Amino acid sequence: MDKTNYTRTEIYELLWLEPTTKVAKRLGISDVGLAKWCRQYDIPKPKLGYWAKRSHGVAVPDKPGLPELSGRLPEPTISVGENIQSAAPVRDEPIKSLPLFRGKTFDQEIEKTFRTEHDECMNKYGRWIADAGFSVEVAPASIYKARLILQTLTDALLAKGFEFGDYKGRYRERVRTSFCQVEERIVLKLYEPSKRLGKPIQKKESWTHSGRVHSYIREIEFQGAGRLEIHIDHPDTYPTVIIRENPKRTLEETLGLVIEVVDELCEEAKEIRRQREIDRAEAEKERKRLADIKWSKDVEAWKWGQLEKAAGRWNELSVIREFVQAMKTSAKVRRKNKGLKEWVSWAEEQINARDPVYKVASGMSLPGQNEPERPNTYGEL
């Protein structure tokens, strides 16, 4: 029977036996929740690229020791299927509040997001979907609240040095407004879950064409759940961080938490990019090493080919040399051919011009002695 509780030491051992995603699956929680639990209890994990290097036979750092936790008795444990929220680290400081925007003038990007607020923009789940600007999917009753949230976050991020930019995540997705700062890119999405109504609501709708009013009854099967979710994406990190409205904290605290998460994502992205550069450099080093091995083998094959070619030529010329010698020593040939002496001199000259031994004796290099020049693009993919 599988275990239902794992101690801190057991989690530490598991994390160095298999990847974090597999350990998280064993525990029945997300890898993000497991990472938070490890940070809370100071459990060292393998860095990015550790398992890929290990699977390819590349040297990896030794497993570090498990730091001691003072003042904690008994040892912390985590349960299979434990909720991610309960696995979140305890905060040393309270969440900073971000005052909600109270003005009436909204940024141009926000106006672009909410410029069409009519029923044609609503999907079958009762959410109004923005077709430009920020990615917003909320119920019509939550549009004004979404405006205030976006303006509050926009003011805070612009004050931190971010600028507006365009972002398209996947093929066929709409171009959305994002926040950019050097190599960082933050994509915010406001989303309101929907719940199915026990009994559909019948709503009378009408439209006018050519001066005539047409009416019809529309059934609404879904409505907004009432609490917004703020999805935060950074292209260099995974997965999406979702912050939900929580009755245990104010909206101002929730927005403050969003800014904290943005800072954490940017720091995490820097570490990911740094590790990516290290991995790229190591991959390049490994590629060059393999290219050097291949070139060394190619050079050896070339040298042997030169030696084999020279030996084959010498063997052919040995037969011809014997033939010329036989002609030279034949008495009948001397009696019948007065030009034999001149012919023998010509034949020996031709043989010596082709004889590899004669060439080396004349100052040429030995067969395969000089290596060919290595092309600059050798070993490139």
Tell whether 100 is covered by a domain: no
CA 375 to chain centre: 31
Q: How far is CA 126 from CA 120, 218, 298, in A?
A: 11, 12, 68
Please name which of 277, 92, 109 lies closest in space to residue 179, comparing C-alpha atoms.
109
Q: Which residues contact 26 (CB under 8 A, 6 or more apart)?
A: 14, 80
* Contact by Cβ (8 Å): 91, 40: no
Tell whether 361 is covered by a domain: no
Helix (H) or strand (E) holding 164: strand 163-167
At 252, list the tokens.
């101002």
CA gap 149, 99 in Å, rounded: 10
Look up tokens 């030696």; give the residue: 307
Instruction: Tell me the DSSP string of 70-92.
Output: TT--S--EEETT--HHHHSPPPS
* Contact by Cβ (8 Å): 214, 196: no
CA 367 to chain centre: 49
Tell whether 68 is covered by a domain: yes
Tell whether 78 is covered by a domain: yes
* Contact by Cβ (8 Å): 166, 178: yes
Tell whether 153 is covered by a domain: no
Beta-bridged to residue 218, according to DSSP, are 203
Tell whether 269 is covered by a domain: no
**Total structural domains within the chain:** 1
Structural domain range at position 60: 1-90
* Contact by Cβ (8 Å): 162, 186: yes
CA gap 81, 3 in Å, rounded: 11
Q: What is the pLDDT along the chain (381 residues), one digit of tens a residue?
A: 357 788 888 889 999 988 888 888 888 887 777 888 888 888 888 887 788 777 767 778 888 888 887 655 567 888 776 554 433 444 445 678 899 999 989 999 999 998 865 545 566 677 888 888 999 988 888 889 999 999 999 999 999 999 999 988 766 678 899 999 989 999 999 998 887 777 777 777 787 888 888 887 776 666 667 789 999 999 888 788 889 888 888 999 999 999 999 998 898 888 888 888 988 998 999 999 999 999 999 999 999 999 999 999 999 999 999 999 999 899 888 888 888 989 999 999 999 999 999 889 988 889 888 888 888 887 665
Cis peptide upstream of residue 74 (ω within 30 degrees of 0): yes
Please name which of 158, 162, 166, 167 lies closest in space to residue 184, comparing C-alpha atoms.
162
CA gap 111, 134 in Å, rounded: 10
At 64, list the tokens.
């570090």
Look at residue 51 in the predicted model and tell me its pLDDT: 80
Q: Which residues contact 263 (CB under 8 A, 6 or more apart)?
A: none
At 343, list the tokens.
């012919």
Please name which of 277, 287, 278 lies closest in space to residue 377, comparing C-alpha atoms.
287
Look at residue 240 in the predicted model and tell me its pLDDT: 86
Give the β-pairing of 128-129 and 77-79.
unpaired
Look at residue 221 in the predicted model and tell me its pLDDT: 67
Q: Assign residue 162 a region: left if phi > 0, alpha if psi is -120 to 50, beta otherwise?
A: beta
Q: Is the dihedral of CA 248, 37, 260, 180 positive or negative?
A: negative
Q: Is the dihedral of CA 239, 243, 244, 246 positive or negative?
A: positive
Q: Is 267 helix (H, G, I), strand (E, B) or coil?
A: helix
Tell whether 355 is covered by a domain: no
Tell whether 75 is covered by a domain: yes
Look at residue 159 in the predicted model and tell me its pLDDT: 95
